[in-house]
Amino acid sequence: MKKQKSPCIDVCDFSGPKGWCTGCGRTREECQKWKTMKPYALNNMHKALRKRMSQINLMASKK
Per-residue pLDDT of 11-52, as tens digits, reads: 999 988 899 999 999 999 999 999 999 999 999 999 999 999
The most distant pair of C-alpha atoms in the chain lies apart, rounded to whole Å, by: 42
**What residues contact residue 11 under an 8 Å CB cut-off, 6+ apart?**
21, 22, 23, 24
pLDDT band with cut points at 50, 70 and 90 for residue 61: confident
| Statement: the pTM of the whole predicted model exceeds 0.75 | yes
DSSP reduced 3-state for 2 = coil
* Residue 1 pLDDT > 70: no
